[in-house]
A and B are shown apart, each in its own frame.
Chain A
């Protein structure tokens, strides 16, 4: 128990350290280490790890910083996340980072990459265009060239070229990382009272700003601790939260959802950490090819990925069924086009499949949860009281 608490505390400190102290310390220990920041959702951190780098996930400032400069760059109808990211950049919180990667997930993040270029932040800024074509010789080749581009930028900084052995090692470490995270999801599916979603969230997020080995150690402690009987089950429904894959819900919001009578047993908060739903092939002669292959074949569903042929509404319902969830909570950040344009489509499938849902919007620095609490509470009550038959 004590170890679990210590781990949670440590993770929480890491997750919300707006100065990325741990990552900067790691970098300063050796001269040829590089620090790369990347935005949501997914980035193949393995390649950075293999060239003596650390890829740090940047989720913005949430409710942890007051935004002044950031607001100067954004109109009121644009989501909140990029304001915090700009604030970090202009406040020198990101000094010491060598490069920044902006995965292709929406136009706001895409243009933020251009703003970083104009503000001349880092030694390189790369908008990483993930392919929307999933044929290996078409989209696969393009994805490979995108990764090679990143590697060439890093080589310019520290002179380190990719070597197969080291990338294979990295792949093993990150496979392990995903397996450990998934294991905790599995434990929580059956016994969600052992670890609250807010603690779990911080354990994952805290690990996304430090070297993967360190995160794996933390996760191993958590897995071990969760073998014990902790806490008591309460009369709550089980829900999957969907739509929060980029701008993160504040911890207070997660606590609110659970306090209102829901166990969150799956979600898309830090989706990048478990984007790949299967292991990347280990110990191959073409580990980049293995990463490409994993992306093309084993990516999870997301609002950022073109889904015709494998519609995400159905995949969300399948996930909820697999987790034995009672319902879906659609929680999207205000002004998030991708999440919100998906919502009606996903809800249509939920209705067809008889899966209950509610929806609301938040922003990362929302401070008042009363309305959401009432809404979620009513949802939970309605399922507990009236929908016993549907739970099966």
Chain B
């Protein structure tokens, strides 16, 4: 039996899971927002990674089968999108029920029906919107998490409905989202994939009908798919069924991240995120010597040797200035989403000089700057720069930047941060420094953890049942 290894990185804002094979290759990734219940967050990430792994293994399997061609990949990606939507929909339905139930229990009789009606109408509108977004593989750049996606759309829906119920509707949401979000749901993979395939079926038949609609983008692959989708889905069926029940044998797992101590793992399976980030970054970029990781709660500058082992590290001091969390405060202050910060800052033509990267003072400072007429994008540019300056001083503390330099963590996905990191690294340490950023930068910690678990003592679990039981500990 093939062995797989799981790494879980329980961060302060997001929880990540990575599954690797025996060659340290990532075969599954899962990510969710960290919430009050850390274990649920870790478990959701873990399940997502397992589903994702099944799809990877499916693709791998198909690649080995000569009778399949590239168009099948497209089909499988489509299935994966719909698959995700179905999971989303499950929560969406639960949230609707929860909202109605909460309304039933807490709203005065005279308003009850009106409010319930509004909730239904909002959800009736949201559901097809989200479905379409998943179908097109396009949820916008804003956020990929249930709470964020649904929160924003619900809020829009409330804003469009009767003003007199605004308060009640918002309170209902706040009361209902948490239990739904913290509830652990396990899906039957096979069943869900079949559902997905059925939905896709209808998608493609609809598309055939709309051939003339010029606004819809057609490409060769899609054309092919539409022509012989029935054949494809039939021929895939056996592979899918095989993968759906395949035992993804997790031989060992390691937890890391800010909340790692809260994971129900034995002590030897808990590793510091410092070690994991360095190890993960090194696996992707083997020449990595200096790693910068900007996470939600901590910023770390790490020096590693040629094996990816840590020789020295520095973390931010007591105040969380300059961490991802700081960007969260700023986003709240400006009433925009976290993922919009970077792009906005990139529009700046001149950054405002920001003095305090203190989270406590940031709000007041921003308000004052807006009062004196500074542009929002220029303030944001200044704030991003200030954060990067803090990170640069941490790097200097740990011994400076050595070639190559790898930037990891969720904040590495922020374009403005990236711009200043690149500029300041080159300015202070020379143009010859190679700067690595990977699309999987946010998964580096989880990857490192998975790699540690592969190198640790293998927990050889005899059968699938035991394996599942072991993993389900997470859900409790």
Contacts and interface: CB of A to CB of B under 8 A. Distances in A.
- In their complex, do chains A and B touch, with some C-beta pair under 8 Å? yes
Interface of A: 63, 66-73, 75-76, 363, 365-368, 370-371
B428 A68 contact: yes
B369 A368 contact: yes
B369 A72 contact: no
Interface of B: 317-319, 321, 353-355, 364-365, 368-369, 371, 389-390, 392-397, 424, 428
A67 B355 CA distance: 11
B396 A72 contact: yes
B364 A68 contact: no
A73 B389 CA distance: 14
Contacts of B317: 75-76
A133 to B, nearest CB: 38
Contact of B392 (A68, A73, A371): A68
A66 B351 CA distance: 13
A221 B319 CA distance: 49
A245 B459 CA distance: 65
A325 B370 CA distance: 36
B355 A368 contact: yes
A348 B368 CA distance: 34
Nearest to B354: A367
A67 B428 CA distance: 12
A66 B423 CA distance: 14
Contact of B424 (A68, A70, A71): A68
A76 B371 CA distance: 28
A66 B353 CA distance: 9
B368 A72 contact: no
A368 B365 contact: yes
Given A68-B392, A75-B317, A366 B428 contact: no
A367 B393 contact: no
A376 to B, nearest CB: 16
Top 7 A-B residue pairs of the complex, sorted by shortest distance between their CB atoms: A72-B396, A71-B393, A367-B355, A72-B397, A72-B393, A76-B317, A370-B368
A104 B138 CA distance: 64
Contacts of A68: 389, 392-393, 396, 424, 428
A71 B391 CA distance: 10
A368 B424 CA distance: 25
Contacts of B392: 68
B119 to A, nearest CB: 44
Contacts of B365: 368
Contacts of B393: 67-72
Contacts of A366: 355
A71 B390 contact: yes
A76 B394 contact: no
Nearest to B388: A68
9 contacts: A63-B355, A67-B393, A68-B393, A68-B396, A72-B397, A75-B317, A365-B355, A368-B364, A370-B371
A67 B390 CA distance: 10
Contacts of B354: 367
A68 B394 CA distance: 9
B310 to A, nearest CB: 19
Nearest to B395: A72
Nearest to B424: A68
B430 to A, nearest CB: 15
A152 B359 CA distance: 50
Contacts of A73: 397
Contacts of A370: 368, 371
Given A76-B318, A368-B368, 6 more contacts: A66-B389, A67-B389, A69-B396, A71-B390, A71-B393, A72-B396
Nearest to B390: A71
A345 B424 CA distance: 45
A58 B151 CA distance: 55
A76 B397 CA distance: 13
B351 to A, nearest CB: 11
Contact of B319 (A70, A71, A76, A365): A76
A146 to B, nearest CB: 34
Nearest to A70: B393
Question: Which interface residue of A67, A72, A370 has the most chain B CB atoms within 10 A?
Answer: A72
Nearest to B314: A72
Nearest to A90: B396
A75 B397 CA distance: 10
A365 B356 CA distance: 9
Nearest to A75: B317
A370 B364 CA distance: 10
Nearest to A71: B393
Contacts of A365: 355
A368 B374 CA distance: 13
Contacts of A72: 393-397
A163 to B, nearest CB: 46
Nearest to B428: A68
A69 B318 CA distance: 19
A68 B423 CA distance: 13
A75 B389 CA distance: 15
Contacts of B353: 367
Contacts of B321: 76
